[in-house]
Every structure is written in structure tokens, then in C-alpha cells.
Amino acid sequence: MKRFAVMIGLVAVGLAGPARADDDTDKAALVASAMQIYAGRAALPKHVKAAEAFAALAEKYPQDKQRQVWCSRTAYYAAHRIDDSGVKAKVAGRGVDCAKRIIAMNKADYEGRFWWLMTRFQAEQARGVTKALGAAPQITGLLSKMIKDHPKRAEAYMVLGAIYRGLPGPPISIGDQDKALDLLEQSAKLAPDNAEVLLELAQAYADMGQKDKARATYRHCIDKGTGPANLEWETQDAKDYAKKMLAQLD
């Protein structure tokens, strides 16, 4: 019986070459199609369609981590722009599913945990203020754990700071402007030219009445802000928003 099992395995290996090649060709074509849609994401309908395309790819290739990252990340940024709560929840929900697949492969994976939290919070926000406030303690607790596990990664500091900055304080919720500013300053030390980090930090300074620091940070974002590869539009969007906020500062 053991020899039979080994023979089956050898036959499977022998047949895997052409099938795998065909599958790789199909995947490459699907990725190229999704990327073509993604390139037009400055228009919101295209952004939503790109999120749908990456979600379909991620479902078709559930063990491909990069397909899950593209799905969850695109879903987050698209959902962030959507006003319709039903559509926002649906788009964000696809991202949650993709991030869950990463975590299923490796529960300690930073990107999986990060994008699950990002898309989950978007989905809760779409369901209403009460849902978002209810989810906040769990999400902030998990972000704090990520910071403890990966103290040299800027992303969790930024998001945790943004949440503390955006939420109302006690007794309504857990918002805390001092905590927010401290976390965002730590994030900026780790990613000093990241446009999204700088935008959040500038807004935190403005909230605290530190207008000179807010102005300087907005200008830094506008003049020197950068972002990851394949997020060029999102980076420019942050810089454009910094211009708008700088103009309104006075």
C-alpha cells in the first residue's frame, strides 16, 4: 500500500508540469487584467471594480499570500472613499475575508493582522457609529499587541494613533489626543517621509493647537512625502489632502 501511495505521488509530480504552467499563465492574465483596472482607480467606480477583481483572484488562489494582500489592501482604500454604507461594508468585507486567509496560513503574519484590522474597522464604521465604537477596544488592543510584537514597524503606531485621534473621549469612547500624538510621533520616527503618517501627525498637531508644528508637518508631507510601490495614487491623495488642510489651518 505504501509503494502504491508513493507511485501515485510520482505520477502527480510528473503531471504537475504542464498543468502548473497553464495555471500560471491563467493567473498572470487575471493579474494583468486586475492591474489594468487598478491603474484607473482615481475614478471611484474603477477602484471598486479593482477591489472586486482582486477579491476574485484571491478567492481563486487562496494560498497565494500576495493575492490576499492586494485584495485586502485595495478593498480598504476603496472602502475608505465610499459614502454608501451598504457598498462600503460589502467592499470592506471582501478585504476582511482575504486578510483572514493570510492569518489562516500564519496567525503571526504582520500584513495579515494589519489588513484584517484595517478592513474590519472599515466594515464596522459602515455599519454605524455604535458598531465602530463597540469594535474600537478590541481593535486598539490588537494594534497594541502588534506594536509590542513588531516595535520597529510604523504602520500599527500610525493606525492606533489615528484611531485615538478620531474617536471621542470618555465616557463615550476611548479617544485620547495625548496618546494619539505620542503614537503618531513614534510612527514618524520610524517612517519619517511617509505621506500618510505625516498627514495624520500634522492633523494631530492641529488638534492639539500646535499650529507651527502642524504647518511644518503638512509642508513636509507635501514636499517630501513618499509611499510604498503600487500606492502612488494613494500617496498623492494624502499629499493633496495635506495641501487642503494646510490652506484651512488659519
Residue 86 lies in a domain: yes
pTM listed for this prediction = 0.87
Domain that holds residue 70: 42-124
Give the span between the Cα atoms of 92 and 84, in whole angstroms. Answer: 12
Q: What is the pLDDT of residues 221-244, one digit of tens each?
A: 999 999 999 999 999 999 999 999
Residue 193 lies in a domain: no
Question: What backbone phi and psi angles, to 5 degrees, belong to 246?
Answer: -65, -40
Per-residue model confidence (pLDDT) at position 25: 84
**Radius of gyration (Cα) for the chain, nearest Å?**
21
Residue 207 lies in a domain: no
Residue 142 lies in a domain: no
Residue 165 lies in a domain: no
The domain tally of the chain equals: 1
Residue 146 lies in a domain: no
pLDDT under 70: residue ranges of the chain: 1-22
**Buried b / exposed e across 113-131, counting CB within 10 Å, b at 16+?**
bbbbbbbbbbbbbbbeeee
Cα–Cα distance list, 2 to 5, 9, 11 (Å): 5, 11, 14
Residue 196 lies in a domain: no
Per-residue model confidence (pLDDT) at position 24: 78
Per-residue model confidence (pLDDT) at position 16: 41
Residue 105 lies in a domain: yes
Per-residue model confidence (pLDDT) at position 189: 99
Per-residue model confidence (pLDDT) at position 250: 75
